[in-house]
């Protein structure tokens, strides 16, 4: 009998970026050289794929679009995915879990992602979608398409994590450049993917296996995610607090029946600090009834920093659920009305928690450092 190769028994994970925003996420993930994850980019725009860093870039709907894109029409995106169903199945074959990423509101991602999710679920693959919804300044049409796309996507995924781009603006002032705003959205998507995939693929002092992740995310429906980051004294507690009170959290965590917590920290991270993280989360969550899965990943380059990723699923109805597509659409319309006055002055809402360090991607931490 041949010896067992432990590497061959690991869960097979694939990230599928659909459309322009999804392709950008895949490109930025490729820069990080993620171990154990295959990167796939699907687009109706052949030219966009020439710049792709994905392991497997693929044009979909080429007969329909001639590789010229979906023209912002989700129906074209949907038909393109249906045309390329056979190729999509080949790319999905053998996967245990996929992360489906896209920016909702455009043509390819909005239309094709639900089709891809449906195919994956039919193949028995754990399917997690991490998507963004448009900034308010992108206009009502994209907001409407995004709401419709959410409704379709939630029918076909195990877990749906929605990152409202407009919420990200609460984490920083209006001095963000346009490039930085979209980079922030990309990085938040990446942190969501890495926070979950690291639990499965990177061994730590506290291990969560793929079966645990499946237990949290299978048939979970709408979910919510918090990202927390802190450095220095009491970093563990502050990172946990930031994750729980992140502007990305939609609703009340006490209604969640399943929680997945990932803590990434340096080699000197102590048992007491793990306790600090969980003590804070358990104050908010339904500790008696919720199934809580804790994973720890050691990062030798983390220094005294701590990052906490929190995914809440299985909302029971006792707490407030994440916002659905109908509420999102109404909120997006309201946000557009109040975001800018006639003279261009911002009236953006304030962060949910102002006194704590939120999980701010590196680009924004750099901006803050330059200001201090």
Task: Name the nearest CA neighbour of 366 among 213, 200, 176.
Answer: 176
Taken in order 318, 323, 325, 331, the sign of the CA dihedral is: positive
Q: What are the strands, taking DSSP E only, across 104-174?
A: 126-133, 159-164
Check residue 190 and give its pLDDT: 86
Enumerate residue ranges in the chain where pLDDT < 50. 1-8, 317-372
Q: What tokens appear for 132 in the block?
A: 């963004």
Write down the residue that tokens 């109805």 correspond to: 317
Q: What pLDDT is attached to residue 170?
A: 65
pLDDT for the residue numbered 304:
94
pLDDT at residue number 261: 92
pLDDT at 124: 96
**Domain 6-201, what architecture?**
3-Layer(aba) Sandwich (3.40)
Query: What pLDDT is recorded for position 26?
Result: 94
State residue 367's pLDDT score.
43
230 phi and psi angles, rounded to 5 deg: -155, 155
What separation in angstroms does the CA of 327 have from each of 10, 115, 118, 130, 335? 39, 23, 24, 18, 12
CB atoms within 10 A of CB 200: 23
Cα–Cα distances in angstroms (integers) from residue 356 to residues 243, 246, 285, in the given order: 10, 10, 19
Which pLDDT score is estimated for 171? Answer: 61
Domain extents in the chain: 6-201
pLDDT of residue 173: 60
What is residue 195's predicted lDDT score, i.e. its pLDDT?
A: 80
Pair 261, 310: CB distance under 8 Å? yes
pLDDT the model gives residue 184: 78
């Amino acid at each position: 009998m041949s010896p067992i190769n432990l590497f061959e028994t690991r869960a097979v994970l694939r990230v599928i970026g659909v459309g322009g925003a999804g392709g950008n996420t895949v490109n930025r993930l490729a820069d990080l050289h993620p171990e154990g994850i295959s990167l796939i980019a699907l687009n109706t725009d052949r030219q966009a794929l020439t710049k792709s860093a994905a392991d497997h870039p693929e044009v979909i709907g080429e007969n329909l679009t001639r590789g010229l894109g979906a023209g912002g029409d989700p129906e074209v995106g949907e038909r393109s995915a249906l045309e390329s169903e056979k190729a999509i199945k080949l790319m999905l074959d053998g996967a245990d879990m996929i992360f489906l990423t896209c920016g909702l509101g455009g043509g390819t991602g909005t239309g094709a992602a639900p089709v891809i999710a449906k195919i994956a679920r039919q193949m028995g693959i754990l399917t997690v979608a991490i998507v963004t919804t448009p900034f308010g300044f992108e206009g009502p049409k994209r907001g409407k398409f995004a709401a419709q796309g959410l409704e379709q996507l939630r029918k076909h995924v195990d877990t749906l994590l929605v990152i409202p781009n407009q919420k990200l603006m609460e984490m920083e002032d209006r001095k963000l450049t346009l490039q930085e705003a979209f980079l922030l959205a990309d990085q938040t998507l990446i942190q969501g993917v890495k926070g979950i995939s690291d639990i499965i693929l990177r061994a730590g002092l506290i291990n969560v296996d793929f079966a645990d992740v499946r237990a949290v995310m299978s048939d979970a429906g709408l979910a919510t995610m918090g990202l927390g980051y802190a450095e220095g004294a009491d970093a563990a507690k502050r990172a946990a607090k930031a994750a729980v009170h992140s502007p990305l959290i939609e609703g009340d965590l006490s209604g969640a029946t399943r929680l997945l917590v990932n803590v990434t920290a340096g080699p000197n991270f102590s048992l007491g600090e793990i306790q600090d993280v969980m003590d804070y989360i358990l104050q908010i969550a339904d500790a008696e009834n919720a199934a809580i899965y804790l994973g720890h990943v050691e990062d030798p380059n983390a220094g005294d920093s701590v990052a906490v990723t929190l995914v809440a699923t299985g909302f029971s109805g006792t707490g407030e659920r994440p916002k659905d597509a109908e509420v999102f659409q109404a909120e997006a319309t309201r946000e557009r009305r109040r975001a800018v006055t006639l003279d261009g002055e911002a009236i953006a809402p304030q962060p949910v928690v102002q006194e704590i360090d939120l999980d701010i991607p590196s680009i924004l931490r750099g901006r803050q450092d330059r200001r201090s």
